[in-house]
Amino acid sequence: MAARITLIRVPLFARSFSAFQAKTAQYQEKSETMSSNLIPPPDVLKEPIKIPPRQLFGPGPSNMPDAVAHTQSMSLLGHLHPEFLKVMHDVRDGLKYLFQTTNDFTMCASGTGHSGMECAFLNLLERGESLLCVTTGLWGRRAESLGQRLGLQTFVVEAPQGEVVSVEEISKAIEQHKPTAMFVCIGESSTGIVQPIQGLSEACKKHNTLLIADTVSRSSNKSDIFPKKKQSYFFQVASIGAEPFKMDEWGVDCVYSATQKVLNAPPGLAPISFSKRAMDKIRNRKTKVASFYFDALELGNYWGCDGQITRYHHTAPISSVYAIRSALSIIANESLEHSWERHKTNVKLLHSLLEENGFECFVQKPENRLACLTVVKVPQGVDGKKVTASLLGKGLEIANGLGESAAKLWRIGTFGGNSDEQKIRNVVKMLKDEVQNPTNKL
Ligand SMILES: *Cc1c(COP(=O)(O)O)cnc(C)c1O
């Protein structure tokens, strides 16, 4: 017995995997003799994890390049070690490049894209203030739900499925409700719809409304949409890196994004940036931000945004920060302009290949389609869900529509490294094969 205990104390890191397994068996034997009334561990955990290779052409996550995967598996550092703080500062500077901003408060919330939305709303709006949501699909409804959870008074102006809300209708709603802020999802990734907001900033200005936009998309002429203004805006950009975006030039006050789309990093961080004007609003709040975790001032201190000595805020997901450092390095080496151009060229190829093969894009006007997400109509007589299931079995993910449009649409993401001519040709070829297969007919 004494000998066994000594053995168990031998440090595991010095041992090979088989030695580790032998040790595990000993532990197991030991716990069997000792065990009495413990709930047993699940048998499946004694099997190795199985992950099939998969081409990710849905709306995210996208495929991770080897360099990012490698960086992610590097040794952990402590979350306040100087070498790790340096990595965070590198990421912060990379995000300033990505967003095209000089904002001091540029950082990541620890969480997926939604945490960026939560961080933005929590900091920029106070309980009792009002929010008008322009809803063309999922993201407007999410914003409304979050607004309600935060004790905001919410109003909705909703478009019929697959259509946009007219600028006149939105202006009328602003006139009627005079909301503190308005949320517009410009690029609706559930439908591929681009909501025009030309002329809205004027209406917002008149009623002192903050325009909050969620955009996965580019609109035709952004400088017209965002003239020099006194209002705050904030944006969600799932398309960041694929579509031109210039935070400072366009006067955007808050932008947030996610790592698993164009950046090709694993999900888990939400890049976010607040303008000076946004920070002024935050510093002059009547009430404290109702979250310590998402408090921009606390989070910003950890990311080295305020020039103060770094305090413990939370333990950053170290490996994910390494991964985004690596992803940002890839985009810095390629250059934003080249990445924007590549996504545009390749998505045009995707559209023409789809059309040549008898498919129809859901968004009619090419200038209103995203450079990194294409929504396609499921052809008549074809079972769209069977097709996606069959493709998944062959190692290729494309997504169904969302909600009401689930069976009628497919969504094809071409993010970052997946915006590639050969890969796109292969996706269209595989999709065509499935459509022609009689087992996938309705
Ligand atoms: C993908 C996406 C997000 C990301 O949200 P997660 O929490 O990372 O799933 C947010 N907004 C839009 C418009 C998106 O397309």
What amino acid is encoded at 290 in this protein?
A
CA of 74 to the centre of ligand 1 (A): 27
- Ligand 1 pocket mutation pick from 56, 62, 110, 112 by most atoms within 8 angstroms of CB: 112
* Ligand 1 atom closest to residue 189's alpha carbon, by position in its atom list: 15
Q: What is the CA(59)–ligand 1 centre distance, in A?
A: 9
Alpha-helix residue ranges (DSSP H) falling in 261-317: 276-283, 296-302
- pLDDT band (50, 70, 90) for residue 1: very low
What's the pTM value of the predicted model, to 2 decimals? Answer: 0.85
Nearest atom of ligand 1 to the alpha carbon of 111: 7
State how far the Cα of 259 lies from the Cα of 61, in Å rounded to an integer. 8
Query: Which DSSP string corresponds to 249-318?
Result: TTT-SEEE--SSSTT-PPS-EEEEEE-HHHHHHHHT-SS--S-STT-HHHHHHHTT-SSSPPPP-----H
- pLDDT surpassing 70 at residue 299: yes
Cα of 137 to ligand 1 centre, how many Å?
Answer: 13
CATH topology of domain 66-334: Aspartate Aminotransferase; domain 2 (3.40.640)
Residue nearest to atom 6 of ligand 1 (CA): 113
Cα of 114 vs centre of ligand 1, distance in Å, is: 6
Nearest ligand 1 atom to the CA of 114 is 7
pLDDT band at 320 (very low <50, low <70, confident <90, very high): very high
User: Which residue from 261, 264, 324, 375 has its CB within 8 A of the most atoms of ligand 1, so it is best to mutate?
Assistant: 261
pLDDT in the model for residue 3: 41
Q: Domain-by-domain residue ranges, the chain?
A: 2-46, 55-61+335-440, 66-334
Q: How many whole angstroms from 258 Cα to the centroid of ligand 1? A: 6
- Predicted pLDDT of residue 10: 41
- 40 prior amide bond cis, ω within 30: no
Taken as a whole, the chain contains a residue count of 442
pLDDT number for residue 6: 40
Mean pLDDT is lowest, of 11-20, 244-253, 293-302, 342-351, for: 11-20
Element (H, E) at 55: strand 55-56
List, for residues 366-399, the tens digit of each pLDDT value. Answer: 877 888 999 999 999 999 999 999 999 999 999 9
For residue 428, what are its two tokens?
Answer: 């269209």
Mean pLDDT, rounded, of the chain: 85
* CB atoms closer than 10 angstroms to residue 73: 9
pLDDT for 223 equals: 37
Instruction: Give percent above pLDDT 70 in the chain.
Output: 81
Over range 17-34, report the average pLDDT.
61
pLDDT digits (tens, 9 = 90+) for 46-96: 999 999 999 999 999 999 999 999 999 999 999 999 999 999 999 999 999
- Which helix (H) or strand (E) element contains residue 91? helix 82-99
Describe the strand order of the beta sheet including 153-158 as a list of residue ranges.
105-110, 269-274, 254-256, 233-237, 210-215, 181-185, 130-135, 153-158
The pLDDT of residue 219: 33
CA distance 91 to 89: 5
Query: Closest Cα to atom 9, ligand 1: which residue?
Result: 113
d(CA 411, CA 362): 10
Mutate to test the pocket of ligand 1, among 133, 236, 256, 412 (most ligand atoms within 8 A of CB): 236
User: Are the folds of 55-61+335-440 and 66-334 the same?
Assistant: no
CA of 399 to the centre of ligand 1 (A): 14
- Ligand 1 atom 1: the closest Cα is on which residue? 238
Write the CB contacts of 13 (distance below 8 Å, at least 6 apart in sequence): none
pLDDT over 80 (residue 292): yes
Q: Closest Cα partner for 412 from 337, 367, 364, 359?
A: 359
d(CA 16, CA 112): 35
Ligand 1: residue of 62, 114, 412 to mutate (most ligand atoms within 8 A of CB) is 114
Pocket test for ligand 1, best of 56, 133, 139 (most atoms within 8 A of CB): 139
Q: Does the pLDDT at position 22 exceed 70?
A: no
Q: Whose CA is nearest to atom 13 of ligand 1?
A: 216
What gap in Å lies between CA 87 and CA 303, rounded to an integer? 10
Of residues 135 and 378, more confidence is placed in 378
- Ligand 1 midpoint to CA 238 (Å): 6
Give the residue-averaged pLDDT of 144-162. Answer: 89
- Ligand 1 atom 5 nearest Cα: 113
∠ Cα 7 10 13 (to 5°): 140
Q: Whose CA is nearest to atom 14 of ligand 1?
A: 238
Q: Which fold has domain 55-61+335-440?
A: Aspartate Aminotransferase, domain 1 (3.90.1150)
CA dist 47 and 40 (Å) reads 15
- The 10 Å Cβ neighbour count of residue 83 is 8
Report the pLDDT value the prediction gives residue 238, as an integer from 0 to 100.
57
Geometric angle at alpha carbon 104, from 121 and 122, rounded to 5°: 10
The partner residues of 313 in beta bridges, in order of sequence, read none
**Which ligand 1 atom is the nearest neighbour of the CA of 260?**
8
> Which segments are annotated as binding site?
411
**CA 59 to ligand 1: nearest atom:** 1
> Distance, CA 331 to ligand 1 centroid (Å)?
20
Protein residues with CB under 6 Å of any ligand 1 atom: 59-60, 112-114, 139, 189, 214, 216, 236, 238, 258, 261, 267
Q: 404 pLDDT band (50/70/90 cuts)?
A: confident
- Residues making up the annotated binding site for substrate are 411
Is residue 111 within 8 A of residue 164, CB to CB? The reply is: no
CA distances from 198 to 82, 178, 201 (A): 46, 18, 8
